A and B are shown apart, each in its own frame.
Chain A
Amino acid sequence: MSARMPRLTPVRAVVAAACALAAAFVTLPLIVLITHTSPSALLDAAHDPVVLDALRVSLVTTAISLGIVVLVGTPLATALARGRFPGRTLLDALVGLPLVLPPVVAGLALLLAFSPTGPLGSALSPLGVRVPLTEAAVVLAQCFVAGPFYVYAVSAGLIAVDPAVEEMATTLRAGPWHVFRTVTLPLIRPAVAYGAVLSGARALGEFGATITVAGNLQGRTQTMPTAIYIAFERDPEGAVALAVILAVVSFVLLLGVRGLHLARAAI
């Protein structure tokens, strides 16, 4: 039984007030959003081919981006946390640059770099590869903007791991990859899950960089956030229905990942 009320100390009162404020701050605008739409508008939106296309584009590109971020971001985070090389601090700060850059500026930078006269675009152009205004540009924008969330989370997780544990495994003649998989990875699993959730959520909601470098074409580069922006100018009520759908899909995904993670932690 834990029915006994804890004594209200000033510290507990401040904590409770902060929790209540934060909960209200996040939920109130969302409740207003949901009450602004009707079940019939939601149903219409859920059957609208534009919405279904946008949802598909958003989920597919986010999945690909997250895969790339994990594949490239994990070794990068390891280097940042463990590496002893000149310029490590500089690299660490560079990785975080997209976090402070306004997304539209990030999109413009990518557009100029990958334009046919840009440094990367001019190298790809002879191979017949065009990146801007394609699905690849959507993924590019998402990786650029969402990647740092994953790298910083995993890097922080790695810093918290006592290197002595890994050294012990190495003295038992385990190879570096074996040590990473069997010793380090289980220890940083919460940081990896946390980073992937943050990064995936950011990629799913990405708008400014995406519309700048990838443009807007239904079924190809039009993501949910772009579709919401376009709908907002055409039919604000329809846009609210779309926004509710994106919020619900995001919430279900978050709940699923967090639930899976908590269940695993409880084992």
Chain B
Amino acid sequence: MILFAAASTAKVMAQEIAAFEKQKPSIHVTGDYEGTQALLTKLQADPSIADVFVSADSAHMATAVSKGIVASSRDMAGNRLVVALAPGNPGRIASLADLGRSGVHLVLADTSVPAGKYAEQALKLAETSGDAAKGFSAAALGNVVSRETDVEAVVSKVAAGVADAGIVYATDAMADHRIGSVDIAARDQPPTVYPVAVTSHARAPVGAGAFVAFLLSSEGQRILHDAGFTAPPSTTASP
């Protein structure tokens, strides 16, 4: 059984797989973790390439539904964004608003990646909520020195200290002890959701269904919670 999952879920999915295989020793799960958009591109080229698809946003899952790659999805989890800090915090960043200060070197995921899209939304939300000054969003985007192809690449650039800060998921910051982090206020958080689905052309639909059921079970949800994932935002409708 092949699992295609967003790069930001790589570590927790390895734990989920280990727990699932202990329960169902006859099913073997192989995980492939990349940016959601890269996984969707592969699924569009060959819809039977994977049995389960975990997207990092509802937009890519909606595309998968409209292209007939999956029939329907369930929301598995949510996440929060944080500001990731380079070791030693050389940019002396204490809040999201500091990312607009001139001279800060900021790394974001590309806007084709869910994490990059969420990051830009957070910058705009901070401006409208009054947590940051007017013109903050444009100033912060002007400080961007690179748009990475997945959120893991943002973490590795910040961890190497080649940028002062990045915007990543709270779960990434928790999992990587090299980087520090600063919380982003709840009112500046865009709703993030991870929908999961069995693919329509799955080669191992039974195992795929069992794995998705496990992810949504109390044990699967506990593993997600322990890794720092939140419950899915209740408002997102599943197709």
Interface on A for B, CB 8 Å cutoff?
Answer: 111-112, 114-117, 130, 132-134, 211, 214-218, 221, 229-230, 232-234, 236
Chain B residues lying within 8 Å of A216, measured Cβ to Cβ, are: 110, 146-149
Could you tell me if A133 and B105 are in contact, using CB atoms closer than 8 angstroms? yes
How many B residues face the partner with a CB closer than 8 A?
23
26 sampled A-B residue pairs with Cβ under 8 A? A114-B162, A115-B160, A115-B161, A116-B90, A117-B161, A130-B162, A132-B160, A133-B146, A133-B157, A133-B162, A133-B163, A211-B149, A214-B146, A215-B146, A215-B157, A216-B147, A217-B144, A217-B146, A218-B147, A230-B110, A233-B37, A233-B41, A233-B112, A234-B37, A234-B112, A236-B41
Q: Please give the residue numbers on chain B whose beta carbons come within 8 Å of chain A beta carbons, in ascending order.
A: 35, 37-38, 41, 44-45, 87, 90, 105, 107, 110, 112, 144-149, 157, 160-163
Partner of B107, one of A114, A116, A215: A215
Which of B38, B45, B145 is A217 in contact with, Cβ under 8 Å? Answer: B145
Decide yes or no: A111 and B112 within 8 Å by CB, A216-B146, A216-B147 being known contacts: no
Contacts of B148 in A (CB 8 A): 215-216
Which residue on B lies nearest to A235, using beta carbons?
A: B112
Query: Which residues of the partner chain A approach B162 to less than 8 Å between Cβ atoms?
Result: 111, 114-116, 130, 132-133
CA distance in complex: A259, B146 (Å): 39
Collect the chain A residues with CB atoms within 8 Å of residue B163's CB: 133
- Distance (Å) between the CB of B119 and the closest chain A CB? 15
Cβ contacts under 8 Å, B147 to chain A: 215-218, 230
A187 to B90 CA separation, bound complex (whole angstroms): 54
A236–B149 CA distance with the chains assembled, in angstroms: 15
The complex places the Cα of A124 from the Cα of B8 at a distance, in Å, of: 33
A95 to B90 Cα, complex, angstroms: 35
Q: A238 to chain B: closest CB distance in Å? A: 12
Within the complex, the shortest CB–CB distance from B59 to chain A, in Å, comes to: 12
